[in-house]
Amino acid sequence: MNTGIRTNEKWKAVQTALYEGDLQSITNKICIGGQDCYFRISWHAGRPVAVDLTVGTGKDNNGNDVLTNELAAAAMHNTRATVELICRHASALLQADVWTIDDLISAWRGTAFDPSGVCMELKEIPSSPLDAAARLCEKRKVDWLKLMEK
């Protein structure tokens, strides 16, 4: 009988810590092409175990054309839903200790979808919110790892 991830001891430890509120988290605001995004990475026992990326609602309205606005809002809704699902899957891989922060960076770096554009916080031009989160992880992972080892 396949019981899946529920038999993974590291995953179970993280689930217990999550339930008990024992995870440490770092949240960063990044603005991509004028769209606010919030990236949260949570840690347990010195390793990243959960990620969440929230894409804000800043640019769903593209003017006075109702149809254009509805299409833009629908596209942004689809982006948010997709990013949420990707984060859940990445978190499961991190929790089970199948992925490291480097695996996340490798998987997300270079992904391309809207919103994209200039990101002043990174001083770069990411091609998607996932790409921006990966770039942020690249820049900060050493500092985060030192901080979370304590």
pLDDT at 132 over 60: yes
pLDDT at residue 49, rounded to an integer: 95
pLDDT at residue 71, rounded to an integer: 78
What are the CA-CA distances from residue 98 to residues 12, 102, 128 (Å)? 13, 11, 24
- Cα separation of 43 and 23, whole Å? 6
- Average pLDDT on 88-92 reads 96
* pLDDT-based confidence at residue 2 (cuts at 50, 70, 90): low
Residue 127 is classified by DSSP as S
Residue at 141: amino acid letter: K
Residue at 9: amino acid letter: E
Residues 6 or more apart from 144 whose CB is under 8 A from it? 26, 41, 43, 48, 101
pLDDT at 16 over 80: yes
